[in-house]
Every structure is written in C-alpha cells, then in structure tokens.
Amino acid sequence: MAKRTKKIQDYNWLYSFLRYYTDIVLKLSYRTIKYVGRERIPQDGAVIYAPNHTNALMDAMVILALDRKPKVFVARADIFRNPKLAKILTFLKIMPIMRMRDGIDEVRKNNETIEKAVDVLRDRVPFCIFPEGTHQAKYSSLPLSKGIFRIALQAQELMPDMPLYIVPVGLRYGNFFRFRSTARVAIGNPINVGEFVEQHKDLTPAEQLNTMKESLDERMKKAIFYIPNDENYDAKYDICAAVVRSQVRILREEDRKLRGLDAHFKANNLTLERITEIEQDNSELYTELIDLGNKASALRKKERISVSSVFVRHHTITRILRRLLFLVSLPYTIPASILSLPMTFTCKAIFKKLKDFAFRNSVRYFINLIMWPVLMIIYSALAYAFLPWQWALPITLAILPAPIVAHEIYRLLRILKSDIKLHMNKELRGYYTRINDIIFNK
C-alpha cells in the first residue's frame, strides 16, 4: 500500500507544542491584545480569514493566536526559493503564492496553491490570506487582489456540500513600530460564498468575483480604523488623536462599560464621521480643520513628540507615581537592562539592514522568542556555578522577566520625555485646542 503524502494541514506534534510557547511570547510582546467578535466566526463550515495587512509578520501571529486551531497561511513565493527556508515555512504551515509583480507566467503557477488551499478547506482547517497582497503601516487599506476570491469560488465549486465563508478581520495596532504596544483584532461579518454565488447567479464569474471583492472591501473597512490614504491622511490622524479623549468621555456617558481599545476604536470612527460632516456642510471650516491637522502633524513629528502624549493625558498623581516607580525599581531595572543588552544590540544591528520599519516588531518578537531562552540558560548556569543554589534559584527567577521590565521602563522614560515636550510646546497645544473647538462646535 502506497504511503500517504503528508499534507501541510496535517497534525504535527512539534508544531502544536511550540504553539503554546509562541502564543505566550506574543502576549508578552503587547501590553494588550483584544479580540472582538469571535462569536461571528462560523462553526458549520470552512473558513478563509481575510485580514488587513499592516504589521508584517505580527499580523499572522495575532491571527494564529485567535484560537487554538492550527491555520494555514500564504506568503509571497520568492521567499520559498531557499530550500531550507522553504522547509521551515512549510513546517509553519505557510504556502507560497505568486503575485502579479512576479509576472503572468509565474502567476499561472498558483493553480497548485489553489488546489492545496481547497484541500485545506475540505479538512475544515482555517485558511488565511491577506487580500491586500502587501503590507502598509497605516490606518488605511490597499486595493484587494483577486487571489482570495479565485480560491474561494473554486473551493466552493469543488465542495458544494460544505458551507464556505470569507471572514474579514480588522487589525488595529496602537503603534506599528513600537514593541509592547497594543493590538485590537475585530472579526467582521462573514461572506457565505455559496449563498453569495446563488444570489448573484445572473452575473458572469468575473462579475461575481468583482462584486464579492467590493463586498469584502466594505466589510474590512468597517472592522478597522480606516482613514482614506490620500493627501489628508496625516491631518486626519492627528485630528483623531487630538479629540479622542473627549470623544471617549461622550461615548462613556451613554455606555459606562465601554473602555480601552473598544472605546478608542469607536471614538476615532466617530471623529472621522464628524470630519466628513464638516466637509459636506462647511467647506471653509473643513479647510481650516485640515490645515490645522497638517500643521499639528508636521510640528509633532519635527519635535519627535509621540502621538500617545496627545491622546493620553495623565493626572498629576499618576505622573508622580510613575516617577516614584521608576526610582524604586532602579536597583532591578539597571541590571535587567544590562542582561537584555545582547538582545538590544542584535535588534539594532538587524534594524540597520531593514528598509521597511514595519518589520521591526517582527524582528523583536523573534529575537525574544529565540535569544532569551538561550540567555536564560547561560545566566542560570553562571548563577549556579558561582553561587549556592539558595541564591541561584531566586536570582534565576528574578531575571526571567528582565527584557519586558527593561523595555517598560524605557517606554515610560520615552513617554515622559514626549509629554514634557508637548507641555512646553505652546504652538502645538494651540493647534490641538482649536481642533477640539471645531470638532465639538465650541
């Protein structure tokens, strides 16, 4: 009897074991990861996840951690040219896909990928493809490619007895480049592919594909903090930051349970609606508002003031407590920072070679994933070699969270410096005050 060919979606004990570790490191890489709308994920059929793509490899990691189910992803085909890397990617349940930029002859090779994707879906293993095709570190979106729809339509045709859904996913990060930021993952309203085809059976296959593309694009935009990627993008982003605290207060008057990332998400979308309203009703006021947003954005970036200093204003007591925490923790944070230096220097060395800043968090994640266990073994061995075990054991446990603690102290210092800069910049604060006045009709 011929030996069965192993499929990419098949169970792998090592992969399943490592999932626990990678998910733990992911949670430590963010202060908060919020999953919204998981109840919308269909349980009666096959699922294709369709997330927006903003933060390189971290997008796949937060989708993977959505639940304990294994998921199969696709990545651009050129990175599979190295046989060793291709083997690793296959182990990680990642398949190659050709893009139009690779040439029409290469794109034709996607038929094999589509066949494998259909096989994955037949086994009810979630399949994930980023329909934008590439990433951009912006709160916006890119045109959707056709690959996901070709896979969905062909898969549904080949398995008519099984429901198939395209599930839009909105990824929203507090910062695309900073380690230990926040992440909000929102599940949008799924598209039932079979029902969609039946409802649009009067259209040609090409027309069905384009109509489905428009529907998914609309649903994805509803799941993200979407700012049109035009000449006013930076202005609108700073306008949203300037008024988000006030918007949150208004929203919480209606819903006291609304807080955190969900509150910010709704507040930012409310602000964008208000900007559109002003644009339609008063063109002169809209022009002034956008001009203020552009000036504020340019000045904030020039002075290297973090946007978090704009939308997060701490009370005096909180500021005092933070400074006290910093002083009290110095006996621990200084050695913790020193012990983390090999990772810090490794990250900086890699960053110098990166042209795309969006990969920075991905690099930090994998450096923490791989280097810190190795360093812990070395530090533990040294502790036990030179100290009695009664001292070595507590020291080993104490240095375990060193990279996270060191980074948190660095983050507090960076934000404190940024807060002081904003407090001292009367011109910038004036822009933000006027923006608030316009948005709230003062």
Q: Is residue 340 part of a domain?
A: yes
Residue 171 belongs to a domain:
yes
196, 89: one domain? yes
Task: Please indicate, yes or no, if residue 22 is contained in any of the structural domains.
Answer: yes
- Determine, yes or no, domain membership for 237: yes
Is 296 within a domain? yes
The answer on 58 and 155 residing in a single domain is yes
Does 384 map to a domain?
yes
β-strands 127-128, 164-173 pairing = unpaired
Which of 173, 205, 223 is the C-terminal boundary of a domain?
223
CA 415 to chain centre: 21
Summarised one tens digit per residue, pLDDT across range 281-324 is 999 999 999 999 999 999 999 999 999 889 876 666 666 777 78
Residues 204 and 145 in one domain: yes
Nearest to 409 by CA among 308, 328, 311: 328
- Shared domain for 329 and 213, answered yes or no, is no
pLDDT of residue 1: 45
* Residue 32 Rama label (left phi>0; alpha psi -120 to 50; beta): beta
Residues 209, 103 share a domain: yes
What is the rounded CA–CA span in Å between residue 416 and residue 324?
13
Query: Residue 442's pLDDT is what?
Result: 72
Domain count for the chain, please give it: 3
Q: What is the pLDDT along the chain (442 residues), one digit of tens a residue?
A: 445 678 888 888 999 999 999 999 999 999 999 999 999 999 999 999 999 999 988 999 999 999 988 999 988 777 788 888 888 888 889 888 765 555 555 556 667 778 888 889 999 999 999 999 888 999 999 999 888 998 899 889 888 889 999 999 999 999 998 889 999 999 999 999 999 999 999 999 899 999 999 999 999 999 999 999 999 999 999 999 999 999 999 999 888 888 889 999 999 999 999 999 999 999 999 999 999 999 999 999 999 999 988 987 666 666 677 778 778 888 888 899 999 999 999 999 999 988 888 889 999 999 999 999 999 999 999 999 999 999 999 999 999 999 998 888 888 888 888 988 999 999 999 999 999 999 998 7
Question: Which pLDDT value is given to residue 107?
Answer: 56
Exposure letters 361-382 (e unless 16+ CB within 10 A, then b): bbbbbbbbbebbeebeeebbee
Contacts of 76-81 with C-beta under 8 Å, sequence gap 24+, read 77/102, 77/106, 77/109, 78/102
pLDDT digits 0-9 by tens, 81-107: 888 888 888 888 988 876 555 555 555
Please tell me whether residues 269 and 177 are part of one structural domain: no
Say if residue 146 is in the same domain as residue 103: yes
396 and 414 part of one domain:
yes
Structural domain boundaries, residue 135: 13-223
Among 176, 195, 223, where does a domain finish? 223
pLDDT of 134 reads: 86
Q: Is 387 helix (H, G, I), strand (E, B) or coil?
A: coil
24 plus 115 within the same structural domain = yes
Among 166, 188, 223, residue at a domain's last position: 223
Based on the fold, state whether residues 297 and 381 are members of the same structural domain: no
Is 165 in contact with 193 (CB distance < 8 Å)?
yes
- Residue 7 counted as domain residue: no
User: pLDDT at position 100, please?
Assistant: 52
Structure tokens given for 92: 């990680």
Distance of alpha carbon 114 from alpha carbon 132, whole angstroms: 17
Distance, CA of 76 to CA of 79 (rounded, Å)? 6
Q: Is 129 in the same domain as 187?
A: yes
What is the pLDDT, as a whole number, of residue 116? 85
The tokens of 335 are what?
């050695």
Q: What pLDDT score does 101 carry?
A: 56
Residues 418 and 431 in one domain: no
CATH of the domain at 216: 3.40.1130.10
Distances (CA, A) of 22 to 58, 61, 92, 127: 11, 8, 12, 19
How far is CA 30 from its chain centroid?
Answer: 10
- Identify whether 5 is part of a domain: no
